[in-house]
């Protein structure tokens, strides 16, 4: 294990760390420190609680020279107001003995007060995307000196629909800057953002080997489709003593709603759901009810459930197989805590088999497959995503699907099968009227008339 000494920090930073009582850097701090210091773009996969705020702030503060300039040099974007406050607080703790000006800005509060604070001069600004963009557009905040952009909780940011806000901000930031991103989960959206906007950032993730697999029993069911998964889940949940606190993971909002709808009739009062389209109050209420044991079943997306600290979960059900194996580790890490044997069950379709194999590769453990219970009905109902793509003919509202298979071979129509012999028009007319019919040469006709 390394120590903070190896980071070669200034005395002032070391004093602050001592005051905080930190002895060793956390794994994410250890790994990201040299990368951030090198100036390369970086994506860190780390959850809240891993020390990620200091993971980016330590190298940034080490390099940030004292300056009297008014325009900020470091921008930290976070998805929520709460996080703005939390990050500002963490930076302040670290900068007790150094002269650094930090400001947190977020929406829903008076923008003029924030403009005045900016005018005083700042080094680091921590912001939610909407408010930051408004401040930049109003010209109260100048971004021309920005050297480092940190986006924290990228997954939540995208899940809350901030993609366009982020793109707008990228446009107005100086091109020469370092990009540092942190995300608790790797999702398709996060990967797309990275591929679209960043040049091969270095990816850092902390070893998942820390997940105590030993006290989690894992099982898998091969299931043909979504609605058969629903039937299987309903079947399992019948055993209320065994399945007494169940966290069901799905990878996106649409599936979460679809599953919730399918279960609602049967499990109405025992069921709750959390995903980012639900209001914060609704989510907090759901989590509280589930944690207190008032609701037996919680359906959640990966992004929303990260960082959930829920006690005594009897089962984690992976209703679908995550595309990123790390997400499986995060999911099952919700069970099997503190000397308590956890249980997890994975539902996988034929299509998801490969994803299951990547997870097994990461864990170096093969998930035992249980025989599908015969009493569970196999559904032939398919979700829109599961249905084979139909080729629509002559729908003017639909663009042609270039990947769709073309029409089968058929004989050419009579018209198209003709070979070009030249002068076809004249020949056709001649056939019809038995004599050549042309408009003729005007002058020739004139000449002949006169004769």
Contact residues for ligand AMP, defined by CB under 6 A = 22, 25-26, 29, 48-54
How near is the Cβ of 352 to ligand AMP at its closest, in Å?
A: 31
CA angle 237, 243, 245 (to 5 degrees): 115
How near is the Cβ of 152 to ligand AMP at its closest, in Å?
A: 9
238: three-class secondary structure by DSSP: coil
Identify which of residues 86 and 323 has a Cβ nearer to ligand AMP in the complex. Answer: 86
The CA distance from 218 to 318, in Å, is 11
DSSP 324: S
**What are the distances in angstroms from CA 394 to CA 373, 391, 400?**
45, 10, 10
Identify which of residues 93 and 285 has a Cβ nearer to ligand AMP in the complex. Answer: 93
How near is the Cβ of 206 to ligand AMP at its closest, in Å?
A: 11
How near is the Cβ of 23 to ligand AMP at its closest, in Å?
A: 7
The CA distance from 247 to 334, in Å, is 8
Beta-strand pair 369-370/315-318? unpaired
Alpha-helical regions (H) of 292-374: 302-305, 325-332, 353-363
Which positions ≥6 away from 18 have C-beta within 8 Å?
none
Torsion angle, alpha carbons of 149, 152, 154, 155, to 10: 170
Identify which of residues 50 and 218 has a Cβ nearer to ligand AMP in the complex. Answer: 50
Alpha-helical regions (H) of 148-301: 154-159, 163-172, 188-197, 226-237, 253-267, 280-291
CA angle 258, 358, 32 (to 5 degrees): 100
Strands lying side by side in the sheet with 178-183: 102-105, 124-127, 74-77, 148-151, 178-183, 42-45, 202-205
Report which secondary-structure segment, H or E, holds 83: helix 81-94
* Structure token digits, residue 215: 């006290």
How near is the Cβ of 25 to ligand AMP at its closest, in Å?
A: 5
Identify which of residues 54 and 249 has a Cβ nearer to ligand AMP in the complex. Answer: 54
The CA distance from 447 to 225, in Å, is 84
103: three-class secondary structure by DSSP: strand
Residue 260 CA, distance from chain mean position: 21
Identify which of residues 86 and 145 has a Cβ nearer to ligand AMP in the complex. Answer: 86
Identify which of residues 51 and 220 has a Cβ nearer to ligand AMP in the complex. Answer: 51
**What are the distances in angstroms from CA 232 to CA 103, 283, 429?**
52, 26, 73
How near is the Cβ of 27 to ligand AMP at its closest, in Å?
A: 10
Report which secondary-structure segment, H or E, holds 131: helix 129-137
Identify which of residues 207 and 393 has a Cβ nearer to ligand AMP in the complex. Answer: 207
Identify which of residues 51 and 333 has a Cβ nearer to ligand AMP in the complex. Answer: 51
How near is the Cβ of 49 to ligand AMP at its closest, in Å?
A: 5
How near is the Cβ of 1 to ligand AMP at its closest, in Å?
A: 11
Output helix, strand, coil percentages for the chain, rounded to the nearest 5: 40, 15, 45
Contact predicate 99/172, CB 8 Å: no
Identify which of residues 153 and 352 has a Cβ nearer to ligand AMP in the complex. Answer: 153
Identify which of residues 54 and 324 has a Cβ nearer to ligand AMP in the complex. Answer: 54
How near is the Cβ of 379 to ligand AMP at its closest, in Å?
A: 42
Report which secondary-structure segment, H or E, holds 53: helix 52-63
How near is the Cβ of 28 to ligand AMP at its closest, in Å?
A: 8
Identify which of residues 78 and 272 has a Cβ nearer to ligand AMP in the complex. Answer: 78
How near is the Cβ of 97 to ligand AMP at its closest, in Å?
A: 17
């Amino acid at each position: 294990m390394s120590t903070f000494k190896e980071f070669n920090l200034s005395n002032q930073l070391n004093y602050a760390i001592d005051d905080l009582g930190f002895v060793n850097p956390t794994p994410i701090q250890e790994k990201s420190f040299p990368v951030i210091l090198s100036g390369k773009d970086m994506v860190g996969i780390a959850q809240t609680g891993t020390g990620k705020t200091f993971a980016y702030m330590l190298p940034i503060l080490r390099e940030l020279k004292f300056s009297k300039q008014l325009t900020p040099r470091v921008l930290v974007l976070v998805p929520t107001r709460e996080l703005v406050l939390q990050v500002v607080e963490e930076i302040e703790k670290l900068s007790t003995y150094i002269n650094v000006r930090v400001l947190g800005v977020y929406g829903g509060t008076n923008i003029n007060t924030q403009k005045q604070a900016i005018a005083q001069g700042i080094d680091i600004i921590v912001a939610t995307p909407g408010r930051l963009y408004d401040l930049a557009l109003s010209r109260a905040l100048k971004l021309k000196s920005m050297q480092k952009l940190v986006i924290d909780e990228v997954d939540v940011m995208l899940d809350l629909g901030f993609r366009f806000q982020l793109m707008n901000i990228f446009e107005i930031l100086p091109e020469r800057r370092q990009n540092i991103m942190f995300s608790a989960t790797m999702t398709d959206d996060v990967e797309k953002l990275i591929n679209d906007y960043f040049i091969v950032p270095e990816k850092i993730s902390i070893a998942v080997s820390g997940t105590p697999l030993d006290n989690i029993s894992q099982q898998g069911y091969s299931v043909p489709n979504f609605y058969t998964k629903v039937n299987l889940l309903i079947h399992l949940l019948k055993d209320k003593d065994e399945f007494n606190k169940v966290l069901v993971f799905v990878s996106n909002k649409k599936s979460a709603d679809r599953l919730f709808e399918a279960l609602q009739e049967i499990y109405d009062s025992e069921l709750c759901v959390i995903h980012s389209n639900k209001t914060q109050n609704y989510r907090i209420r759901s989590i509280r009810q589930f944690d207190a044991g008032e609701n037996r079943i919680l359906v959640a997306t990966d992004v929303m459930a990260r960082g959930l600290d829920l006690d005594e979960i009897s089962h984690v059900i992976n209703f679908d197989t995550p595309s990123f194996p790390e997400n499986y580790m995060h999911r099952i890490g919700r069970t099997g805590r503190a000397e308590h044997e956890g249980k997890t069950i994975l539902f996988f379709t034929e299509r998801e088999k490969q994803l299951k194999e990547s997870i097994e590769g990461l864990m170096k453990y093969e998930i035992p497959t249980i025989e599908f219970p015969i009493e569970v009905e196999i559904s032939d109902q398919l979700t829109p995503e599961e249905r084979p793509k139909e080729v629509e003919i002559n729908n003017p509202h639909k663009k042609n699907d270039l990947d769709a298979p073309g029409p089968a071979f058929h004989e050419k129509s009579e018209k198209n099968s003709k070979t070009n012999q030249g002068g076809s028009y004249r020949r056709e007319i001649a056939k019809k009227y038995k004599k050549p019919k042309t408009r003729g040469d005007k002058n020739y006709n004139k000449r002949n008339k006169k004769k």
